[in-house]
Amino acid sequence: MANKKNTIMVVDDEPQIRKLLKITLESEGYKVEECEDGGQATRLCGSIKPDLVILDLGLPDMDGKDVIDGIRSWSQMPILVCSVRDADSEVVEALSRGADDYVTKPFNPDVLLARIEANLRKAVTQQAGEPDLTNGRIRMDLVRHEVYVDGESCFFTPKEYELLRYFMIHRGKMITHKQLLKDVWGPAHGDDMQYLRVYVSQLREKIEHDPKNPNYVITEPGIGYRMELLEIESASSENLSED
């Protein structure tokens, strides 16, 4: 089983379809959240922030295209429409309103999985400029949600992973406390300074040789943090100096 760990939200009012998709996706290592109507999907997308949405158009409370509008008003997360509607006009309208892909029911599970993988890779490439991020001893596979330190796979909680990804994307730049809290935790956490310090400390324990004297995540007193941009060679010399 692949170790992807991406969260996919399935929005469909048919329990059998949700069950089929849940089994198929979980067998490939994805985490699955389920919704049966558009209103619930719109609310949960804002709180869960899934990596991709699989969306039926024939929902009990609204047309799925209205869900696309709602999500696109604040996010560019990938939306893959999965619907029995196969008319060209439906496909064109869904895509023009912001859907990234369109699959008709009944679908081939292998084709659906391939479309999901392609859209996830496209999304992380658009966000970070590349599907893999490397800084010194650290490498992140943004598609599979895996982190390697010194070539070894390391476990990170979802929030630790999001914080590290944010630092890696903005490596070399100074980031304020408020900016970090707002972008990683959301606007409601803009003043949770102690919360941020705890997570930065946890992150340092996993990526630094000496967490008390960090080389990667540097504190900018009174301002925020900066992830230093390090070359692989410097990481190697660092190891040699400790031997």
CATH of the domain at 119: 3.40.50.2300
Residue 2 lies in a domain: no
Same domain, 27 and 115: yes
Number of domains in the chain: 2
Residue 81 lies in a domain: yes
The 10s digit of each residue's pLDDT in 128-141 is 667 788 999 999 98
CA distance 52 to 123: 9
% pLDDT > 90, the chain: 61
Q: Which of 128, 152, 176 lies at the terminal end of a domain, its last residue? A: 128
- Written as six digits, the tokens of 36 are 């049966």
SS3 26: helix
CA distance 207 to 217: 9
Residue 82 lies in a domain: yes
Same domain, 123 and 138: no
CATH number of residue 228's parent domain: 1.10.10.10
pLDDT value of position 242: 45
Higher pLDDT, 16 or 158: 16
Same domain, 90 and 118: yes
Same domain, 17 and 123: yes
Residue 74 lies in a domain: yes
Torsion of Cα atoms, 34 then 7 then 108 then 57, to 10° = 50
Residue 194 lies in a domain: yes
Same domain, 229 and 160: yes
Tokens 């439906």 locate to 90
CA distance 91 to 132: 32
CA distance 161 to 130: 17
pLDDT value of position 221: 87
CA distance 3 to 123: 18
- Compute the 3-state secondary structure of the chain and give helix, strand, coil in percent, each to the nearest 5: 45, 20, 35
- Written as six digits, the tokens of 8 are 């996919």
Banded model confidence at residue 3, pLDDT cuts 50, 70, 90:
low
Same domain, 79 and 146: no
Contact 61, 37 (CB under 8 A): yes
Closest alpha carbon to 81 in 46, 121, 114, 52? 52
Residue 77 lies in a domain: yes
Same domain, 121 and 193: no
Residue 116 lies in a domain: yes
CA distance 45 to 37: 12
Same domain, 121 and 51: yes
pLDDT value of position 102: 95
The 10s digit of each residue's pLDDT in 197-222 is 999 999 999 999 999 999 999 998 88
Closest alpha carbon to 12 in 71, 68, 74, 58? 58
The 10s digit of each residue's pLDDT in 151-199 is 999 999 888 998 999 999 888 889 999 888 888 887 677 677 888 999 9
> What does pLDDT average to over the chain?
87
Indicate the angle between helix axes 15-27 and 109-128, nearest 10 degrees: 70
Same domain, 185 and 114: no
Same domain, 85 and 12: yes
Residue 226 lies in a domain: yes
Same domain, 108 and 168: no
This prediction's pTM: 0.64
By residue range, what is the domain housing residue 116? 7-128
